[in-house]
Each structure stands twice: as C-alpha cells, then as structure tokens.
Structure 1
Amino acid sequence: MRRYLFLPLVVAVALAIALITRVAPYGGDSTGYSLAEAKKVLIAIASEPRPVGSVGHAKTRDWLVARLTALGLDVNTQAGVGVRQADFDNRRKGAVSVSPYENIVAVIPGRDRAKKAVLLMAHYDSVPGANGAADNASGVAAVLETARILANGPIPARDVIFLLTDAEEVGLVGAQEFFDRHALAARVGAVVNVDTRGSRGRAIMFQTSPDNGELIQLWAKNAVQPTGNSLANNVYQLLPNDTDLSVPLKKGITGINAAFINRLKDYHMPSDQIDNIDMFAVKHLGNFALTTTGALANAEVLPPQASEAAYFDFFGLFVVRYPMWFGWVLVAIGFGLLFTAKVERLGVRWRQALGGTLGVLALTVTVGLISHLFASYAYGTGIIQLRERINEMGPALWLFVALASSSVLLVRPREAMWTGSVILMLVFAVLTQIWMPGASWLFDWGGIIGALLLNLAARSGWQSTAVISVSAITGGLWGALLLSGVIVTYDTVAPMTPAPVALIIPFAIALIGPVIMGFGNLTHARRFGGVIFSMAWLGAAWLIFDPSFSDQNPKPGDLFHYSDRVNGKNYWATSSTSRELPDGPMTKLTPPGFESYKWTAVPAPPTEVALPVVTIDEQREKIVISIMSKAAPRLMNFLIKPTSILSNVRVNGKAIKMPPGQPARVGWRAETPDAKLSFEFDRKDPGGLTIDYLYAVAKLPPGAPPIGGPDTDWARFNGTRVVRGSINLIYGMSPQPE
C-alpha cells in the first residue's frame, strides 16, 4: 500500500506548497502597514461605484483630498478634460480617449529637493456598476498608508509624490495628463504603481521598465514576502493590457508594477465589494508599495539601467536573480550534464531518447489541443459565455491539470520518455532564451534538475533510494514552483487559453520521472490513471451543463436596442447568444468601422434617440469640428475618415497622430452630460470628411423585452439604445473668413 501512496503523496505536497504560497500571507507586520487604517479607506471610498463624473466619484475625491491634507502633505488637484491616444500596435489601434479627470497630487518634501523624485501611483475611479473595493480602492489604501507612514518617519532623501489618478478605467487619461502637463512630472525619476485584477492572493510584481537589473535588486532586497518573476513580466508584455504605469514607461521613466489577481470573477463586477475582498491581499499589496517606495525614496541614487534580470521568488522566501545572459550558462550546464549522463546504463540509446522526446512532445501538444478545443466548445463566444468561463475558472483549472496528469499515468513513461522529457526541457530553455528570455529560468533549472537525476540514476539505478528521494524532494519542489506559475498564468490569460497547462506533462516526467515510473510498475497504476482521466471528463460535463451564475456572481444583462441610421433598420441585439433575445428571425451584425463589436440580433421597432450635434467652423487657419451631447453617453465613438491628408490634427487641443490613409478613432469615455469633442486641423485645400459614429445612451425604449442581470463593464451596452450613423462634411469650399 505504501508503494501506491508515494506518488500521490509527492504530488499532494507539491500542490499544497503551490497553493499555500499563492495565498496572501498573514505576516508582514514589521512595516507598520495597518489593516485597520486600510479598511477605513475601503469603507470611505468603496461603498458605491465611482466612475468618472458620478456622485460617488465626487465624494471619493473630496474624502481623499481631506485625508491627505490631514496627514500634513502638500495637496493639490489637476483637473480638466483629458486626451490620450493609445499605441497603434495596441489592440485599440491608436484610438483617442477623451474624458473629464481630476487627479489628486500630494508631496512629502525630501532632504535634497534637487534629486529626482519617486512617485507612488494608484487610480481611484472605478467602472460603472462595481464598488471597486479591490480595483482599485486597495491600491488607494496602499498609497494612503505609505503616505501616513513616510510622513510620520524620518525625512526621505528625495521628494515622494503621491498620485491618485483619475479616468484610468476609461483609457489611462489621468496618468497621461499628469505626465504630459503637470509641473512635477519632469522631476519624477522612478514610479511605483499598484493596481488589482481580482480580490485574492499575493500581490505579484508583474512588470518593470526595461534594463531592470538594479531595480530588481532593490525590490528583492527590501520586499516583505516577495512575489514575482520574469516570466510574468514577459507574459504581460505580450498581452494587450495596460495600467497607468504604461504612460511613464512610454516616456522612459523607471517603473515597477504590482497587483493581486486571484478570483478574477470579481473583476469589474458588482461582487467587487468590501465583504468579498481578502484583507491580507490588501496588506501584501500595501507592503509592496511601502517597502519599494521607501527604498527608492531613501536611495542615494535611483536604480540606473542595468543588464536585464531573470528572476523568480522561491515561495515568497527570497528572490533568485541573475543577469538574463546567465541563462545561456545554465543552458550549457544542463546540456553538459545531459551528455555526460551514461543513459545507456538505463537501457536508453540516444536514438530511443530522441523518440521519447518526440513522444512527450506529441502527448503535450495533444493534451494542450484537447484542452483548447474543449474550452472553445464548452463556452463558445460572447460576453456572457466569457463571464461564465471566468466564474468557473477555479474548478476548470483543476480539470485541465487532471487531464494532463492522467495522460502521464495512462502512457506509463519509461526511461526513454524520461530522458526525452529532460531533452525537451533543455530545448524549451534554448527557445525561450531566444524569444522569451524572462521565461527561460523555469526550463533552465527544470532541465538541470532532470539531467542531474539522469546522472545519478546512471550510477546507482533509477529505483535506488537516492534517486527516488532526490527526485521526490528536488523535483517536487521545482514542480511546486511550476504549479504556482501555471496558476498565475491561468489567472492572467485563461480560461480562454488553457493549453499551457499541458506543460505539466514534460515537467512532471523530467522532474519526478523515477517516482512516476515506480508507480507505473504497480499492478493497478494504469487503472488509477484511468480513474483520474474519467474524473476529468466528468468535470468537463459538469462545466458544460451546470450554470455558474448565482446571486453572488450574477449573470450580466446583455440586451440593447440598435438603430442603424444608414440602412434604416432596427434591432434587439446582444453581444452574447440568441438566448438573450426575443423571438424573431436572427441575423449577425458588425457595425462597419467598429469591427470589434459582433452582435446577434432580431428585428425591433424604431425608437427616438437625441443624437450628438455636429458642427463645422471654418476659421482663418484651421477647421474645427465640434461634437456635443447633452445626454450622459454610455458610449460615443467616432471614426473620422478624411478624403485627403490632414496636418496638425488636434483633439480637444491636444495633438494626435493620424497616419496617411488611416482614420482617426475618437471617443468620449465617461458617462457625464454635456460631453464635448473638438476635432481640428490646419486649413489647406478643400476636402471632406466622413464621420461614422456609434452612440449609446441609457434606458431601453418603452415596450422593450425584459433584460437580464445587472449592468457591468463586461456588457457595456446592456439596457441602452445604440445608434450607428454616418455624417458627411465638406470644408474649404467657401472663401476664408476675414
């Protein structure tokens, strides 16, 4: 019986370590960060939604100004209507966001005010329909606690600026306006940003500025229970996501970013409330902000650019870090250990090892593909389906883990597959070192451990006590680090892409191959694998047929009225499935020019909507097009397509890039009345503009079918009247005004 329990015991311990070290720690009291004070912040600002322009937003702004002033800081605000243009390589393709904003800025003067300042930043607005206890009242609490502690301590070496940005949720507008226009921006030498994307777990340091070797050194040396790795940094760079830190990084300012991300189903949802948040996650985020900001504030010299670092935390105890180039040394060591292992003593020739490599690769790819196809089939596409996947991502993760694990037991790997898995680890190490070097450490050390085990097994036999023990302990610990990374990656990019979970297969065989092979020799080992495999597919059936929505995690509403003023047709529409619609002949819609929106619709009666007023003013040196809405628009997007090249283009007075032949995408991004956009350019030759627009205002027309659940940021159009139209304007035909 003990032989049957050994492998489950090793796996259970690795799982326990991985899970425990993902939970926000209870310690970290030495910094002085007070959970009681942090909770006061949450109660004060996260008891109602606070989107830009709302009553809750105004109350939050006033409370924060008063609180920072009471701490004895020099406090001011920066307000206006801000403009930010996204990068053209971003998913928003250079779209321009326009929104009111009111940043809150406070300063603790340092001993040497000529030194570059350090800035701690968090956004205080929320999305509509969510109280934002996590996103981002937790970050605001971290800023206020850091301000309280530093204000009551020794005078720092340099100025510390505390920036509570506005309009982050509508396009990083407040951060852009601060770093473009505020007088203090030129004095900033380093930025610490705190944000959240869930309501649980440790705060992961997931992003830094380039050439981060010295910055990583400072963070690691001062952090309390540090959590973060260069894999997360590389993965985040591949995602289309942004935080406020994107703005100073674009300007070449040193920066570092952290967030807690577990329990993604609370993100931008009504469940993002104080009662649902893990206060120890709030504390861990606060300790990151405090220790990192404090270290930067008291550094005689801010971290200079240095060699990019590969780094990972060892279960929150310490951070292993080294220059990225050192990964090549580790790869060489791994291959050296592999080629000196006398694997023929294990009955494996190199030709067989190559076959084992291909076999493990084929198994990994097959399980990854099955996982991806299952996720695609089980949920399909649409906002509500996406929400359901996120609600169920916890149990879904373990379904994919079980599928990968059971496949290993079913194939019962032998020595050739074990050797092949080590080869595969080192091949992956080379590939990641070339294309994604921040991820290479996971494969470097996994390959080295596997190659060391092969050497030991060739000397004493793979069933020896020494090999089994080293495999169980060393391989089990590295496997726990892998599982922790799998959980973080899944929380970040899944459940839409569960295929990376299949990497458990080569890692498991390489690291604990002797333990797995010993288990595979037992009489009922394959049957045990079959049981796990069957349980995985029973879980799959449950995910398909059991709805995940509840009172705590409500199903979003996703029904709206859509009027196409170009073709004169009207619809009830949804960005989810036909289940959200009344009966009628269905059609698929995508508003021309707004291809990111894909809807299912049925015919509806027309309704009246007061559209924005568009005017053109031909001045002596420029053409000014004004767009005004008296209502508080849920959405006001414009695609401006000129017939000729425009020069010196400005939106609300701010210059924007408009490459020749490409339209300008401009949108008002706040639900405030009296929205006003101006689009201006130099007056030259006569020409024309076509303005395609998508405009949405709250409230369905009378007689509308009942809508589903609450408004959320996931279903932006729920309960609205949406209008698509087009306007043609001619300019320059009349004489220039005197």
Structure 2
Amino acid sequence: MLTAGLPAAPARALGLAAFAAVCIALALAWLARPHDTPASPPAAIDTTRMQRHMANLAASTRPIATDANAAARDYIVNQLRGMGLQASVQRTTVQKSTVQYWGGTHYTVGVVHNVVARLSGSAPDRAKRPALLLATHYDSGKTTLGAARSALPAAALLETARALSAGQAPRNDIVMLFADGEEVGALGAQGFAERHPLARQVGLALRFDSMGSGGPLMLLDASNAGGSVLNALPDAAPGVEGSSLLAGLYRLRPETPRVGPLGRLGAPALLFANTGKPFDGERTLDTLERLETGLPARLGDAMLGLARHYGDADLARGAHGARAWFTVPGLGRVQHSAILCWTLAALAALMLVRGYQQALARSEETVAPLVQGFFGVALVLLAARMALWEQREEVAALTRLSDSGPALAYTIVGGCLFVAGLYLMRRFMGAAPVFLGTMAWLLVALVLALLIAPETAYLLAWPLTAALGAWMVLPRISHLAARVLVLAAGLLPALLLLVPALGETWTALAPRGVYLPSLAIAVLLACFASLFLLLPVGRYVAAAMLLACAGCLALPTQAARPAPIETPALAPDRLVYFKDMNSWRAYWLAPPDPLDSWSKNLFPHLAKPSIHVDVFGWHSPRQWFSVAPREDAIAYPEGYLLRMPRPRKEGGPRQVEFTLRSKNRAPHIELWAAGTKPLASTVNGRALGNKETIWSMSVYGMEDTLLRFTFDIKSEDLLAVVVEERIPGLPTHLLPPGAPKRMPGTGMTISSDVLRFY
C-alpha cells in the first residue's frame, strides 16, 4: 500500500485535536445564536410629574360637589386615560348616620363621584385571583388646599399607575380608587365598598393619606391583616415605620385618617400616612410650599414598591384577628397575634400567684407585708398621679418647646423620685412585697389593655413576663454576678420596648397636645425598676440616680423657647354672606377674630363681636355682624309644606311632610330640627331614623333634586326645620374694593329659611 511506510498519528494528539474542534464549534454556535437584549429597568416614579399633578390638584379647595372638585376629578380621569387605562366615574348616593357625643343623631346623604381604574394582571388565572386595591381621595376640606392630605397621595397614585402600566404587569389585577367625599365622612369609600362590583374582588386594600407635610411613611392601621401580609411589609416598603401602639393612640384623635369603610370589604386593609410637620386644626397650613422636599419621592417609591410586591403576592380574602406590630432595636420589625398577649398575661398571672406563694412560705410572719406592699405601691402610683396633675401646666409647657432636653430631664428626675419611693417602702416592708405589689398592678394594667386595645398590650406583656420569670429564677442562683445577669435579662424587654415607645409617643403626640400616653409609659418604665429591689445594690442605684439628677441639673442649656407658631401664606376667607328669608334681609358675618383695616369697612362702629339673638338665637356664637345689601340672584331655599295633619287619636304621633329644592344648586345643605325630637324621619322614601333623637342632617351634591321629607312627631309638639344652603364663594360685587388676597375657593354664601309646623 502507498501508506505502508508512513508513521501513524499518536492517539493523544488526535484526542486533543478533536476536543479543540468541539470547543471551537460550540463557541461559534454560541456567538451565532441571537442574544436576548438585557431587560430594561422597571419604571420608576417621576417626581417632576408628581409636582405638576399636585400643582393642578391643589390650586383651590375641593370640597365635595363643588366646581373645583369636578375639575380635579376631570384632571385625574384625563391623566389615567392618557396612560391607556380604562378609568370610570362611579356616581352613587351614600347614606350614613352618626351618633353625636351629646346624644343627638346626625344623618348624612351625599352624591359621590369616585374615579376607579383597573390594571389587568399577567397571571393566567388572574380572573380567579383576588385583586389589590390602591386607594386615596382627591377632595379637600373647605378651608384647606389639601396639598399633602389629598393632592400628594393622588399624584403618587397617578404616577404609580403610570409606572405599573409601562412595565411588566403584576400577576394580580390592581384596582385604583380616587375616592370622593372623604372629608365629610368617607362617603366615597363607603360608596365603593357598598356599591361597586370590584369591591367583592379585593384581596388586600392599601389606603394612603397624610397627617402632616413631612416625615416618614407610617403604618397607622392593619385592619383584618394576618401575619402573611405584615411579614411582607419590610420587603415591600423598607422605609415604613410605626407600631400598633402608636396607631392605637393616633386613632383617639378626631383628625386622624381611618381605614373606614374599606375595612368592611372582607379583606385585609392597611392604612399608610406620614405624620411629620403636623397641620393645624383646620389644616390651613396644608400647602405646597410647606411640603418637605423629599416627601413626594418617599411616598411615590413606597407606594410603587407596595404595589409591585403585593401585586405579585398570593392574596386571600377574609379577616384575621387583631395583631401587634412593633420594632425591637437590634432585631427589626416584629409582629404577632394579639392572642399571644393573652397567653403571656395568663403565664404572668400564674408566676405572680406562685411568687406570692413562695414569698408567703419564706416569710415567718403573717400575710400583712404582702398586703402592705400591694396597697403601698397603689399609694405611690396615686402620689405620682397627683404630682403629675399638679404639674400639668408645666408638662404642657414642655410640649410647646422646640427642644426636647427639658422634657428628658423632667422624665429622669421624676423617675428617680418614683424609684426612691419604692426603696423607701422596701425599708419598711421588704423587697419581695414591694416587687410583687408592683407586678400585680402592672398585671392589672395589662388586663385592661387587653380588654380595651389588645394590639397595644405587647408593651406590657413581654416585659412583665420577663420580669416575673427573672423573679422565679433568682432564688435558685447564689452567685451575685449571675443574679445581676438574670436581673438584667428580666429588665431587658422593658428597656427594648418601653424606652423607644416613650420616645416615639412624645415626639409624635406631645406636639399635638397629647402627652398623657408618654407620662403613662414613663411610670410603667419606672415600675420595672422595682427589679433592683431584689438585689443588695441599693447604694449603687442611689449613686446612679444622684448622678443622673446632677447631670440633668448641670447640663448647659440655653433658654428654652416655644416652638414658633406657623401661619399660612394665604389665610382662608372666613367672611360669610348670610341671606335670611325670615327677616328678609342679608348680613355680613365673620368669626370673632381681630379685624383688619379692610374688614372694618364691613363692620363699622362695632367695638366687639356679640350674640345676635333675633337672627341666630341665644345659643349662637359671638361673631361680627352687620347688615349687607340683598342680592336677589341668590335664591332662598324652595320649601313647600305638603301635610301637617292633626293626630287621629289624642296623644298619638302625627306625620308632617314637606319638599325642599335648591334653586342655587348648592353643593351642601345643612338641616336641623328644633322644638322637638322627631320620632322617625325619611327622605325620598329612605328611612333615616326610627327612634326619638335630636335630629340634624347634611346633604351633599343633590343640585336641584327635589327632596321629600317626612317627620313623625308628638302631637302636642311644635316642629321647626332650619335649612341652610351653603355655597362656596361670596358676591364679590357687593364688597368694598381692596380686599386682601385669600385662599382660593374660600368664603361662603348661605341662604337660610325656617319651616315651621304648628
């Protein structure tokens, strides 16, 4: 053969060549394949556009049923439709009743216009998955521009909708609600919860509001929320702060936002709001200029993060029991069921009983020292309460200071005096009776917290259980260093929970005039210092207290100044044009504030405000009052008496009937009954009430709809129904020239009449 004399290729060389060929082929194949383009980053919140939204929405006050309210609604709808979303307006009539603190009943009927948009989810089974609801409101009060309270969360929700629609859609459907009528009793949210078909599909509701012009976002309520929802919160929005204690305390204030009707959706509902730079009572300070610089970005990022996280989560309808959530220094956010606090309370009660048994067994005397310790601690607590009551003006002055140093010094000195009182009792009764008496009263406080607000009971449940656990272990340990460690472990939960709670309640609530929770927490913290009574360290405790008091007194402090009082750049116009049918005259009215040079032209020759009995009655407030030109373009309320029969039998009730219509198409009509308490009432066939009560009513957005009222009253009683049509704005052509610039949309015209039934 021709190849017979050629040498054969080594097998190793052939193997390397084959391997190299395979590698080259794989590399060429990888280079030749079409590469996927890198995924674009998810859309973020555009704060510049948020600023434009806020400027448009907060240009004027936006009370329900006003032209400015309709303009804000149209703006939101146009923005949503410009994103390609299907936005609709839910128009519905809502009715509610509220029992007043003086015993009367106030009825509210209003026509609301909610803006609702829906973003379809990406999951194949999205139709079966519960939807995520993002909710806020767009209306405002009558004397506020509502920049942070409504314009800011509405703008953030608009940009959240834009970011969600521009990127990968979440797995769940997302429903966005811009509610109307929030400022008059959450009428819009009630209308959505009761009437909208999407309400039955919601698996989680996230509501956004504001209590101030700055500060971090806080979780203010977690209605029906379980552990799965709350556990996901740190990942969804890491910057969200708050605790169930602070949320419970905020709910005691009347101006605090509420979950409200959204809590009746049959699904968990979370309420978020920022609380820094709080408003004044009427929120006249709620302006764009006062907004903290980074607040729009913080709110927008948190809202988008929450929407994306819960939009991909497996949501479930249904309600869960109350839960406690709080932050432990070094451990982060903790949440658990409030039922756990009942378990801890039961354990603490058992340990307390066992502690009394052991103390009685070790005592060679009678039960007297234990009883003396129990009531002795009660006397110390009573003395602390009386001392704080005597110092209430001083404490109130501390809340008005811009520096918290004096308040801290006051707390330290007061705590040292309280602990000194416990040590004084120990001298006469012994350590165990005083400690057990203190723990017994803390257990009483824990049970009260569990009955009134179980989600706040964690503040006492964990520290009390730890303190009593340390007491149970302490007699078994003889070495002093080990006993100190056990005592420190028993005191640690109180320090980790009560000290931060004391700080956050003072900084959050004291500037608003609410300082009692902080004082109560300070007393509870001082009570846990009774653990020191169990060790022979009295001289060291005394030295530490003296050093702390000396440090407070020796601190170089400047003269404390009260926090400056803020005034709005544009004050609301509080002038009222009152047209009264009974006297057939018109009047200028103003609250009893000092008059400026222009207002004096309306109230000449008046030295002070007074009560005008002939027009408003004996119980009316003091106010500035003068006769005004009568503007005939403003109509009186159109009321017609339809029926005023006598009763069929003596002593039986009679039913009166009348109709009412507003030719002015007033957005707000206020009515109240005088002379008697109606037994029952209806409007347009809707039953309002069926029990005897002081009666008043607010009607919103009825325009010129004919309203038919019936009242059941006692046969011998006389009935007078006062009607006031309240219209934003004033007849400016009747005013003298040179009026100062006021907040847009303020000032009010009232057209009044009284319907009498004899």
TM-score, with length taken from structure 1:
0.72
1:430 partner amino acid: V
Give a deviation string over 1:654-708, Cα, whole Å, max 9, x none: x3522232355222457xxx94464325799999963123455655997999999
| Aligned equivalent of 1:6 | none
| Aligned equivalent of 1:614 | 638
- 2:515 aligned to which of 486, 491, 498: 498
How far 1:157 moved relative to its partner?
3.8
1:659 partner amino acid: N
2:99 partner amino acid: F
Judging changes above 3 Å, is the alpha-carbon distance between structure 1 residues 157 and 657 closer, same or farther for their aligned structure 2 residues? farther
CA RMSD of aligned residues (A): 5.3
Give a deviation string over 1:238-261, Cα, whole Å, max 9, x none: 555575741233454542211112
Whether 2:212 is the aligned partner of 1:198: answer yes
1:661 partner amino acid: E
Judging changes above 3 Å, is the alpha-carbon distance between structure 1 residues 227 and 727 closer, same or farther for their aligned structure 2 residues? same
| Aligned equivalent of 1:9 | none
Aligned residues of 2:193 and 2:264 also touching (Cα < 8 A): no
Whether 2:669 is the aligned partner of 1:657: answer no
Give a deviation string over 1:244-300, Cα, whole Å, max 9, x none: 741233454542211112221367534323342235444554455445444544344
| Aligned equivalent of 1:25 | none
Judging changes above 3 Å, is the alpha-carbon distance between structure 1 residues 628 and 563 closer, same or farther for their aligned structure 2 residues? closer
Aligned residues of 1:122 and 1:194 also touching (Cα < 8 A): yes
Partner Cα separation in structure 2 for residue 32 and residue 83 of structure 1: 37
Give a deviation string over 1:305-347, Cα, whole Å, max 9, x none: 33432332336974322222211222244456666599999xx
1:650 partner amino acid: V
The DSSP-based 3-state class of the residue aligned with 2:127 is: coil
261-270 or 517-526, which deviates more: 517-526
Partner Cα separation in structure 2 for residue 589 and residue 370 of structure 1: 40
| Aligned equivalent of 1:357 | 377
Whether 2:659 is the aligned partner of 1:625: answer yes
Whether 2:455 is the aligned partner of 1:438: answer yes
The DSSP-based 3-state class of the residue aligned with 1:630 is: coil
Judging changes above 3 Å, is the alpha-carbon distance between structure 1 residues 529 and 318 closer, same or farther for their aligned structure 2 residues? closer
Partner Cα separation in structure 1 for residue 258 and residue 565 of structure 2: 32
| Aligned equivalent of 1:109 | 120
Structure 2 gap ranges (5+): 1-40, 363-367, 427-433, 597-602, 644-654
| Aligned equivalent of 1:428 | 445
**Matched ranges for 1:441-452 at <5 A:** 441-451=458-468
Aligned residues of 1:639 and 1:665 also touching (Cα < 8 A): yes
Judging changes above 3 Å, is the alpha-carbon distance between structure 1 residues 532 and 328 closer, same or farther for their aligned structure 2 residues? farther
| Aligned equivalent of 2:201 | 187
Greater RCO between the two (CA within 8 Å, min separation 6)?
A: 1
Indicate the structure (1 or 2) with the bigger Cα radius of gyration.
2
How far 1:140 moved relative to its partner?
1.6
How far 1:73 moved relative to its partner?
1.9
| Aligned equivalent of 1:84 | 95
How far 1:194 moved relative to its partner?
0.8
2:662 partner amino acid: M
- 1:158 aligned to which of 155, 172, 177: 172
Partner Cα separation in structure 2 for residue 373 and residue 568 of structure 1: 49
Partner Cα separation in structure 1 for residue 296 and residue 416 of structure 2: 40
- 1:122 aligned to which of 136, 154, 159: 136
- 1:409 aligned to which of 411, 416, 420: 416
Judging changes above 3 Å, is the alpha-carbon distance between structure 1 residues 207 and 104 closer, same or farther for their aligned structure 2 residues? same
The DSSP-based 3-state class of the residue aligned with 1:331 is: helix
| Aligned equivalent of 1:638 | 671
The DSSP-based 3-state class of the residue aligned with 1:203 is: strand
Partner Cα separation in structure 1 for residue 171 and residue 289 of structure 2: 39
Partner Cα separation in structure 1 for residue 540 and residue 612 of structure 2: 56
Aligned residues of 1:520 and 1:526 also touching (Cα < 8 A): no
| Aligned equivalent of 1:323 | 337
Partner Cα separation in structure 2 for residue 498 and residue 662 of structure 1: 36
Judging changes above 3 Å, is the alpha-carbon distance between structure 1 residues 611 and 254 closer, same or farther for their aligned structure 2 residues? farther
Give a deviation string over 1:202-230, Cα, whole Å, max 9, x none: 22222233474554445466442443433
Aligned residues of 1:33 and 1:283 also touching (Cα < 8 A): yes
1:104 partner amino acid: V
How far 1:432 moved relative to its partner?
0.9
2:693 partner amino acid: Q
Judging changes above 3 Å, is the alpha-carbon distance between structure 1 residues 700 and 426 closer, same or farther for their aligned structure 2 residues? farther
1:502 partner amino acid: L
Partner Cα separation in structure 2 for residue 567 and residue 315 of structure 1: 67
Judging changes above 3 Å, is the alpha-carbon distance between structure 1 residues 349 and 294 closer, same or farther for their aligned structure 2 residues? farther
Aligned residues of 1:360 and 1:421 also touching (Cα < 8 A): no
197-206 or 444-453, which deviates more: 444-453
How far 1:164 moved relative to its partner?
0.9
Structure 1 gap ranges (5+): 1-28, 379-388, 731-738
TM-score, with length taken from structure 2:
0.70
Judging changes above 3 Å, is the alpha-carbon distance between structure 1 residues 605 and 612 closer, same or farther for their aligned structure 2 residues? closer
**Matched ranges for 1:473-492 at <5 A:** 475-487=494-506, 490=509
Aligned residues between the structures:
664
Whether 2:756 is the aligned partner of 1:728: answer yes
| Aligned equivalent of 1:264 | 278
How far 1:162 moved relative to its partner?
0.7
599-608 or 146-155, which deviates more: 599-608
| Aligned equivalent of 1:733 | none
Partner Cα separation in structure 1 for residue 700 and residue 618 of structure 2: 16
Judging changes above 3 Å, is the alpha-carbon distance between structure 1 residues 100 and 643 closer, same or farther for their aligned structure 2 residues? closer
| Aligned equivalent of 1:14 | none
Partner Cα separation in structure 2 for residue 683 and residue 349 of structure 1: 66
Aligned residues of 1:583 and 1:602 also touching (Cα < 8 A): no
Aligned residues of 1:696 and 1:722 also touching (Cα < 8 A): yes
| Aligned equivalent of 1:381 | none
| Aligned equivalent of 1:369 | 389
Aligned residues of 1:409 and 1:525 also touching (Cα < 8 A): no
How far 1:628 moved relative to its partner?
0.9
The DSSP-based 3-state class of the residue aligned with 2:141 is: coil
Whether 2:85 is the aligned partner of 1:73: answer yes
1:201 partner amino acid: G
Aligned residues of 1:401 and 1:501 also touching (Cα < 8 A): no
The DSSP-based 3-state class of the residue aligned with 1:509 is: helix
How far 1:355 moved relative to its partner?
5.2
Aligned residues of 1:447 and 1:510 also touching (Cα < 8 A): no
Partner Cα separation in structure 2 for residue 367 and residue 393 of structure 1: 20
**Matched ranges for 1:542-581 at <5 A:** 548-551=564-567
Identical amino acids, percent of aligned pairs: 19
The DSSP-based 3-state class of the residue aligned with 2:188 is: helix
How far 1:108 moved relative to its partner?
1.1
Judging changes above 3 Å, is the alpha-carbon distance between structure 1 residues 564 and 685 closer, same or farther for their aligned structure 2 residues? closer
1:477 partner amino acid: L
Judging changes above 3 Å, is the alpha-carbon distance between structure 1 residues 526 and 154 closer, same or farther for their aligned structure 2 residues? closer
Aligned residues of 1:129 and 1:712 also touching (Cα < 8 A): no
Judging changes above 3 Å, is the alpha-carbon distance between structure 1 residues 264 and 669 closer, same or farther for their aligned structure 2 residues? farther
Judging changes above 3 Å, is the alpha-carbon distance between structure 1 residues 437 and 532 closer, same or farther for their aligned structure 2 residues? farther
How far 1:442 moved relative to its partner?
0.6
Judging changes above 3 Å, is the alpha-carbon distance between structure 1 residues 372 and 563 closer, same or farther for their aligned structure 2 residues? farther
